[in-house]
Amino acid sequence: MRMRPLPPVRASRQRGISLIELMVGVVIGLIAVLVIYQTFAVAEGVKRQTISAGDAQRTGMIAMYLLGTELGNAGAGIMLNQDDLATCTDTGNVATTLRPFAVIVTPGANDDTPDSIVVNYGTSRSVVTPSVFMAKTDAGGTSYTVQSPTGFKKGDMVVVMSGSGECERREITAVTAPDANGNVVLTQAGSTHEYLPTMRLINIGPATSTQRVRFDVVSGVLRSTDLVTAGATAQPLASSIANLKLQYGIDTDGNGTVDEWTAATGDYAPDKVRVFTGAELRRIKAVRMGLIVRSDEFARDAPAFDWTLFECTPEEATIYVCPDPLEGTLPANYRYRVYETIVPLRNPMWNR
């Protein structure tokens, strides 16, 4: 049997990719990654700006709510006693004066500078009408005898009025049980003035409950400061506040409604409002408030922001005497939100 030789084995051709093809693939992959990264960066920037604008909107709403709540309390326990408190001599300091104001606005230097406001109210839980002295209290005396068996508790703050200008604020450290005539003895650290029977004092609430608060904007932060407690530190409430402006709503004809909006200047400058009579204070019926909030996120394509506050419509101009609107321009590259509201001063109106 004859054997046939096997055919010669041919060398097989090598298969795969070359270095050039590999480099081309890497370049294409890098371009795709770059495009994806740019798309992601743009989307992330838009998301951050949207979230930042939403945060500014929430900040503005919360700040307006807090200020509106405080303004709604303005004058509580004060306006009911304003004729008695109006006999107190002004100290020249909004933190220490016992004059019966509900709100005092301090204007900024110009439209771009935030205003500040001081809100004054009582927080008495039992009695808001004056109590009468039933016995004499000498200067330096540590007790007040008044006829009010359930009106005072340890820790309450009282304002004592002589009726001739001498007034002072004292914290009650002890209260005796009422006697057969309903008289109680209030202990305090020591009276500055002499008080005779028939003179009066009012309870403005627990000393630990703030009754006089300043709200201002410093370095973009809305703050509150307790003016009753000496040396109190300002507490931050909201950040990124670009501006805060306020106006009084005045009842010029005594019909109980606002007829004119005015800034806290001229006849309504802080030093003049502080010494207003009860009748003059009752003319302030409302506060108009404008707030501008800035986003925290840098927005490259955002232009400079032209803002306007307190611009009366043609219809409003037929109802009110309106001053010129406030205007200004805020820096570019941020998003802004503008809020306006009117807060009626209910306590001055209810206790007219």
Q: What angle do CA 102, 104, 110 make, to 5 degrees?
A: 155
Element (H, E) at 212: strand 212-218
140 conformational bin, left if phi > 0, alpha if psi -120 to 50, beta if neither: left
Q: Is the pTM of this model over 0.75?
A: yes
Q: d(Cα 170, Cα 188) in Å, to the nearest integer? A: 7
Domains in the chain, please, with CATH?
Answer: 51-92+109-119+211-350 (no CATH), 131-206 (2.40.30)
The contacts of residue 24 (CB under 8 Å, 6+ apart) are none
Kindly give the confidence (pLDDT) of every residue in the chain, 352 residues in length, as a single tens digit, with 9 standing for 90 and above: 566 666 665 555 656 677 887 888 888 888 888 888 777 666 666 666 666 667 788 889 999 999 999 999 999 888 888 888 999 999 999 999 999 999 999 999 999 999 999 999 998 888 878 899 999 999 999 999 999 888 899 999 999 998 888 999 999 999 999 999 999 999 999 999 999 998 999 999 998 887 899 999 999 999 999 998 888 999 999 999 999 999 999 999 988 889 999 999 999 999 999 999 988 998 999 999 999 999 887 877 888 999 999 999 999 888 899 999 999 999 998 889 999 999 999 887 776 6
**Can you read off the two tokens belonging to residue 178?**
């009422």
Q: Specify whether the CB–CB gap between 244 and 112 falls below 8 A.
A: no
